[in-house]
Amino acid sequence: MNWNTPAGWGHTPPGYSQPQPAYSGSWQQPAWTDHKEGFFHHDRFISNTRKHPELHPILAAETTLARVDIRFEPASEAAFPSKIYYAYRHIHATADQASHVRLISKDFPWSIDIKTPGRPVTCDDVWNALYTALQQPLADSEWGVLSHDSSKAKKVQKAAKQRQSEIDKDKGGPKRVDWVADSHIFRGLEEDDEFSKRRLAYVDSQCDATFVVKLGTS
């Protein structure tokens, strides 16, 4: 397996230097190196017996050390450390360089399609697609669903007020990100074929890969 990094890293923040791998190997990714028994992320060793070897480790739920606050733009320091964002944003999300990835979740009812014709989906595409999709306002039909669940509705309203007070500083209505309430930390992607089949039973279009977004409170 060889994860190729597209040429050019774009602009980096002042004072930032790209992390260098401690070992040479087939990964050739910043801060990630291949080893016969596993991977090293800085000083932490992670076993090579991964559930999702097709996902880059920075995105896979069982290996990523990144905790991304999806209420903020990925490039923002408030989302997660910018040194991680700038180091990994251009990395291919999947080993087979998929150009169409679909995201679903047990924490929200929408599917998110990421299409990048002519090039592979990158980590930045994944982070930004999730952020952008959840910035959309809740639709009337979605409020209809909440009207049958008063407990969930209260959590959404509380999350909206907190976001409006601390982040957006606006008076707009609830957004889709408020649907997940306190579970606004992106903890990676994973595969769940059984859930995916149920969730996408009536979706006609196919895509290269479908992953389940794992969220948490921390």
Per-residue pLDDT tens digits for 163-210: 999 898 776 789 999 999 999 999 999 999 999 999 998 887 889 899
Mean of all residue pLDDT scores within the chain: 81
Instruction: Of 29-43, 54-68, 195-209, give the range with the top mean pLDDT.
Output: 54-68
User: How far is 190 from 212, CA to CA, in rounded Å?
Assistant: 5
pTM of the entire predicted model? 0.78
CA dihedral (143, 115, 102, 25) in degrees, to 10, reads: -140
29 assigned to some structural domain: no
Q: Is residue 199 part of a domain?
A: yes
Q: Out of 33-47, 108-122, 124-138, 193-207, which region has the weakest mean confidence (pLDDT)? A: 33-47
Q: Is residue 40 part of a domain?
A: no
Domain presence at residue 115: yes
In a domain, 187, yes or no: yes
> Which range of residues forms the domain containing residue 191?
58-216
The 10s digit of each residue's pLDDT in 65-111 is: 899 999 999 999 999 999 999 999 999 999 999 999 999 999 999 99
> What would the 3-class secondary structure string for 39-73 be?
EEECCEEEECCCCCCCECCCCECCCCCCCEECCCC
Residue 82 lies in a domain: yes
User: Is 44 among the domain residues?
Assistant: no
The total domain count for the chain is 1
Residue 42: predicted pLDDT: 41
